[in-house]
Amino acid sequence: MTLHNENLINTDDLFIPGLVQQVFNKYKRINGITLTPAERLQLFTDLNALLGEVLLKRALYLLDQWNFITYYTADRFRSIVELSSNRNSAHVVRVVPGVNYCKCRYFQRFVLQLKDTGEKDEDEHELDGGSNQVSFTCEHVLAQCLNQLLSPEPRTQILTLDQFRYLHNDIYED
């Protein structure tokens, strides 16, 4: 991935979040123009270099196997994306576009570095690799970003403010 110095506005952009955002901005299209196969390949190559192959593969699996729906408020200023499994309708994950947060176990463990309830520091229980693993995000947040970029006509639904608040509160409640 070629980084252009004129695109780096401040030192925050030199870290992983800024670089990931720079990748997505590079491929962002206006008026529903889709990416060419070569651009998609380069996008995946860039994300693989920044986030790793395992995380990217998980996100791409979600793009293929899960349903995505974007819920908006009537004014369309606020949105929540719901990812639901095609195989298990009870398996639902919600994320807020532009916010790097997810309630999933992977995000809690490897992004926020929180221990599972009852887990001790010396515990050898491992999820997806070594206990020292650190990640910038999870597959749900990454899949939502990719879906937003790659889906020409995403599914959307307008919610009342009360419905939206309910979904929003559910994202951040433990």
User: Would you give per-residue pLDDT tens digits along the chain (174 residues)?
Assistant: 454 544 444 445 547 788 888 899 888 876 667 888 999 999 999 999 999 999 999 999 999 999 999 999 999 999 999 999 999 888 999 999 999 999 999 999 999 999 876 655 544 444 445 556 889 999 999 999 999 999 878 899 999 999 999 999 999 887
CA distance 80 to 57: 23
CA distance 86 to 123: 34
74-117 pLDDT, tens digit per residue, is 999 999 999 999 998 889 999 999 999 999 999 999 999 998 76
Q: Pairing between strand 66-73 and 155-159?
A: parallel
Token digits of residue 88: 């298990």
Identify the residue whose tokens are 């800024």. 18
Q: Is the pTM of the predicted complex or chain greater than 0.75?
A: yes
> How far separated are the first and last CA of the chain, in Å rounded?
38
Counting every residue written for the chain, the total comes to: 174
Report the amino acid identity of residue 155.
Answer: R
